[in-house]
Amino acid sequence: MDLNLKACSLGIEFGSTRIKAVLIGPDYVPLASGSYTWKDHLEGQYWSYSLSEVKSGLQSCYAALKKEVKEKYGATMNTVGAIGISAMMHGYLPFDEKGRLLTPFRTWRNTTTAEASEKLTELFSFNIPQRWSISHLYQAILNKEEHVKDIRYLTTLAGYVHYELTGSNVLGVGDASGMFPIDSESGTYDAKMVKDFNELTGMDVVKILPKVLMAGEDAGALTREGSLLLDPDGDLEEGIPLAPPEGDAGTGMSATNAVRERTGNVSAGTSIFSMVVLEKMLKRVHTEIDLVTTPSGKPVAMVHCNNCTTDMNSYVSIIQEAVELMGGNSDLDEIYRLLYKKCLEGDLDAGAFTVYNYISGEPVVGLNDGKPVIVRRADRPAKLSDFVRAHLYSAFAALAYGMSILQDEGVKIDRLMGHGGLFRHPVTGAKFLSSAVNAPVYTMKTAGEGGPYGMALLAAYRVSGGKMSLEDFLESEVFRNTEGERMDPVEKEVEGFKAYLDRFIKGLEVEKAAIASF
């Protein structure tokens, strides 16, 4: 088929385990993709990624996409209609006046800012999670870190990559809302909280934060230096418009048509989080609930959990190794498919197993560190189906605990969409999530594409001319003919998950003992 690249949009997302690019056509259907696998590492006491790998990973990811476009369509990627960059939210990337990074990148995964988080939450009467950029900044101030005096700008990973491509120090409102609280009325950082922070620290914080942009606004264009960073072959033209860079929460909402009030989505992969668009603000401050925004600035209640499938993936790798040892089919996707199918045969409360999947801390349940733990009851048989079910239940456990607070606040949800790697096998993922939150869950064919697909949609919206709201654009243009699979909660399965969650919460003392002992 002939491919009109000018009518296409490109989304690139820096996730926790993959950098992925998705190219969509004028009908908003994915045409090609590319990816690069990476992993965070501990640098001192902080989880981090190197900026050199950010750049090399970006180039490898784009090269894989470019190759697929050439093979499938016979076209050389020399342009697109628009580009969008997104990444895992929050974290700490402070730069000096010469653009030098002052500390290793401190990611969302770090739970080293408890003192700052607590003090800012009290100061603002607004929950400030540990992973937010402002928590990292204030903790650095409290720690009297030498680099603070040299900070000239502070950004997120998406903001950094966007700056390297365009020279524009801007950020989409959704990602910005994970740096510092946003006033949805003004569409920028909350003025009173800015004043309070400045008085507390003697710092003019707005001077170092990126300019906030709404979805569809002009976020700059690809420079010649940026085009060569993305495509060292030199084929890609400069001047391509870029969408405001966003966080993975906002792109997940866009990818699932969950930006309208009373809609929500759950993104499940290395971490897991839910986003529910609010009709009105919550009555009370809850440290388990983040208040962020959609890419168009509407208030959102977010339950963010640091741990989801990473621990389970380690055990699946052991199973893969055992399969290879016996000379069987060790295709990882096939192993996951079979395990997800098998776990449906398990006991509804996961039988003998309780799993604590905490590679890192989990503030939602009060843990500042993590150690993976498996507890098995001796009075029930050890079955593979229960073992896998327990891992999947644990992936949803902390989220379910946080979501119950929204139910107590009277928040209404008409539609909850599931997306991300866990929903590549939609029946099992949706069934267990539906049981965990006791609500209908929808998945779409693009559920496995997740954030980069959502970022490609935001790039397409950037060049749509702003003729309609983002909510209407997604509803009437992108998803008007999209069919999703609906999974309704089943009472006995809801009860089974609740029994597991009760056991899980009671057994957190075992997890705390493991953290203290190993």
Q: What is the mean pLDDT of each run of 10 residues along the chain (518 residues)?
A: 92 95 95 96 94 98 98 97 96 96 94 95 95 97 98 98 98 97 94 98 97 97 98 98 95 91 88 91 90 95 92 95 92 93 96 96 90 96 97 96 91 86 83 92 71 95 88 93 85 97 96 95
99 alpha carbon, distance to own chain's centre: 26
* Parts of the chain belonging to CATH 3.30.420.40: 5-256, 310-443+488-517
Question: What is the 8-class DSSP label of residue 92?
Answer: B
Q: Tell me how far apart the alpha carbons of residues 368 and 288 are, in angstroms, rounded to a whole number.
A: 13
Residue found under tokens 């264009």: 221
Tokens found for residue 253: 């909402």
Backbone dihedral angles phi then psi of residue 413, each to the nearest 5 degrees: -130, 115
Cα gap 28→329, rounded to integer Å: 35
Measured at the CA of 180, the angle between CA 289 and CA 230, to 5 degrees, comes to 105
Crossing angle, helix 491-506 and helix 426-437, to 10 degrees?
Answer: 70
Give the residues across from 153 on adjacent strands. 95
Torsion of CA 289, 293, 298, 303, to 10 degrees: -30
Confidence at residue 447, expressed as pLDDT on a 0 to 100 scale: 54
H or E segment and range at residue 418: strand 415-419
Give how far the C-alpha of residue 61 lies from the chain's centroid of Cα atoms, to the nearest Å: 18
294: nearest Cα among 182, 419, 453, 417: 182
Which residues, in sequence order, are bridge partners of residue 170? 211
pTM: predicted TM-score of the whole model, two decimal places? 0.83
In three-state secondary structure terms, 122 is helix
Return the structure tokens found at 117. Answer: 């988080």
The residue length of the chain stands at 518
How many whole angstroms separate alpha carbon 455 and alpha carbon 254? Answer: 8
Residue-level pLDDT at 450: 72
What three-state secondary structure class fits 70?
helix
For residue 458, what is the enclosing H or E element? helix 451-462
Shortest CA distance to 33 belongs to which of 73, 76, 62?
Answer: 62
Q: How far apart are the first and last CA of the chain?
A: 58
Classify domain 310-443+488-517 at the CATH topology level. Nucleotidyltransferase; domain 5 (3.30.420)
**Structure confidence at residue 414 (pLDDT):** 85
CA proximity to 398, closest of 423, 427, 373, 361: 361
Where would I find the H helices in 36-112?
51-73
Q: Which residues contact 142 (CB under 8 A, 6 or more apart)?
A: 115, 116
Kind plus residue range of the DSSP H or E element containing 41: strand 41-43
**Burial class of 261 by CB neighbour count within 10 A (0 to 12, 13 to 18, 19+):** middle
Predicted pLDDT of residue 315: 95
Which tokens in the block code for residue 485?
Answer: 């699979």
Nearest-10 Cα torsion for 92, 154, 459, 433: 30
Q: Which residues lie across from 189 on neighbouring strands?
A: 182
CB atoms closer than 10 angstroms to residue 318: 9
Beta strands in 278-321 (DSSP E): 290-293, 299-305
Q: Which SS3 state, helix, strand or coil, does residue 374 take? A: strand
* Cα distance between residue 445 and residue 485, in whole Å: 9
Alpha helices in 231-331 (DSSP H): 248-255, 310-325
Helices of type H across 91-236: 114-124, 133-142, 157-166, 173-176, 191-201, 224-230
* Assigned superfamily of 5-256: ATPase, nucleotide binding domain (3.30.420.40)
Alpha-carbon gap, residue 134 to 90, rounded angstroms: 9
- CB of 307 closer than 8 Å to CB of 358: yes
Q: Per residue, what are the HEC states of 346-370?
A: CCCCCCCEEEECCCCCEHHHCECCC
